Amino acid sequence: MIQITGLTKVRGKGAPPAVLDLTFDARPGMVTALLGPEGAGKSTALRLMLELERGQGVTLFDGRTYRRLRRPEREVGVLLPAPGEGPAALAGHPGRKARSHLRMLAAAVGVPARRADDLLEQTRLAAVAGQRLRAFSPGMHRRLALAAALLGDPGTLVLDAPTEGLSPRNVEWFHCFLRSFGVAGGTVLVTTRTPQEAAQLADRVITLDRGRMVADQHVAEFRRTRLCPEVSVRGPQMARLADVLVSQGAQVRRDGGAGLAVVGVGRSEIGELAYRHGILLHELADRVVEQPAPTAALPVSSGRSGHVRVYVQPAPERGVDRAGAPVEPVVPRPQEDGTLPARTLPVLSAATALSALAVVEPEPYGSADATPTVAVDRLFRDGPVASRRPASDDLLADDTMRLGSLGRLMPNAAPAAAPATPDDHRSE
């Protein structure tokens, strides 16, 4: 079992932390995946666990730190490229043969040479054991590196992006091997950048964003929240098909020029409906759409190594009128009958309205709260809606001042007059 508590890494003065207060555990009999994009802190977290980098926090392997393990190579198998090497790193010297390389490592670990031969069979490299490593493919190098990590027969595996850059056949082999290792009672901690791979491989998914853990989910919950299965349909009669699918309760959206993305109806049912209504199809395929990952607020370094302070958003500035004087908020006073006067909504400028709309996140497609598509005609038949330019009365004082300055630069253009609103305290 791996227990990770408070891992934190700050690389330099003024820089955001590479890892911040990372706490979770990887349990025996399960495959735990660290998921995140490039730069999320996955590799840094593994190096902190193995004490290859200095930082804060504690990592325990069956109750002991990595440095206090008597024979770490017999308890923890590691597949971790050196910094800068990436997934294409070689498993050993290119002039060395695979069998000789693995037997040399077996002697260093203190296990018999036959253990190396057994692992060559287990990783399906026995047929090329006499070849030199310069002739190996990336998948063969990765299998040989895994065999080296397994020499001491460890109960825990820590692997950094073991399938990145490999062929689909090698990826499938790695997935099967790691799942079988977990089923046998081993502990597996693996990193990946692909949500679909995490859903296929792991039993538990830890999502990282900018060094912070933003989600800790069982694979079933992860698939439900991060992966949305849908059916891609293409053909010359998609408007008719959309009418039929919506009548069956499906959610339909336009996908490209002559295609539909359908949620709520299976591929076989769509094919039967199209056949029954005489609709020609050119493509009918299942696919998985990845939903946006949760994000974490980025903290700011305090300037001292190993210390982090939380970023506090500054208070908004007070509004000013056209003369530049600060505008204090108006507190409503009770009327004679004791009731408060009716409040009036402030009038927003176009820039403020657009900025407010920009921070609203849309509902994930295919969620339970999402409104199903029912206006099918608008998918294919509606034309663009002409935009309405605001009248001059809708412009605020700042907008009018900008038009006036533009008129001074262009003598032929008549500047618009400012509306007579001397007590205008409308906020932008």
Quote the pLDDT of residue 297.
57
Q: Do 43 and 154 fall within a single domain?
A: yes
> DSSP 3-state assignment of 20?
strand
Quote the pLDDT of residue 205.
95
Contact in structure between 209 and 40 (CB atoms under 8 Å):
yes
Residue where one domain finishes, among candidates 259, 290, 321? 290
d(CA 161, CA 143): 13
Quote the pLDDT of residue 337.
54
- Is there a domain that residue 369 lies in? no
CB-count burial class (<10 Å; 0-12, 13-18, 19+) for 296: middle
Q: Do 13 and 143 fall within a single domain?
A: yes
- Is there a domain that residue 144 lies in? yes
**Residue whose token pair is 């046998």:** 184
Quote the pLDDT of residue 363.
47
Assigned token pair, 281:
């199809």
Assigned token pair, 165:
């850059």
- Is there a domain that residue 372 lies in? no
Q: Do 189 and 254 fall within a single domain?
A: no
**CATH code of the domain covering residue 153:** 3.40.50.300
**Residue whose token pair is 């590691």:** 78
Q: Do 264 and 155 fall within a single domain?
A: no
* Per-residue b or e along 317-355, where b marks 16 or more CB atoms closer than 10 Å to that residue's CB: eeeeeeeeeeeeeeeeeeeeeeeeeeeeeeeebeeeeee
d(CA 247, CA 231): 17
Q: Do 94 and 21 fall within a single domain?
A: yes
The CB density around residue 358, as the number of other CB atoms within 10 Å, is 8
State how many domains the chain has: 2
d(CA 49, CA 187): 14
Residue where one domain finishes, among candidates 268, 290, 312? 290
- Is there a domain that residue 388 lies in? no
Contact in structure between 245 and 262 (CB atoms under 8 Å):
yes
> DSSP 3-state assignment of 4?
strand
d(CA 258, CA 265): 19
Q: Do 251 and 127 fall within a single domain?
A: no
**Residue whose token pair is 């330019």:** 389
Residue where one domain finishes, among candidates 234, 269, 290? 290
Positive or negative, the Cα torsion across 299, 300, 305, 308? Answer: negative
Residue 137's domain spans which residues?
2-211
**CATH code of the domain covering residue 236:** 3.30.70.980
The CB density around residue 278, as the number of other CB atoms within 10 Å, is 8
Q: Do 99 and 18 fall within a single domain?
A: yes
- Is there a domain that residue 31 lies in? yes
Q: Do 39 and 142 fall within a single domain?
A: yes
Quote the pLDDT of residue 11.
83
Q: How many residues does the chain have?
A: 428
Give the global pTM: 0.64
**Mean pLDDT, the chain cut into blocks of 10 residues (428 residues total):** 94 86 95 93 94 94 94 93 70 90 93 93 92 91 93 95 90 94 95 93 94 92 88 91 91 86 90 92 87 63 44 44 50 50 44 43 46 46 46 45 46 47 43
Quote the pLDDT of residue 324.
52
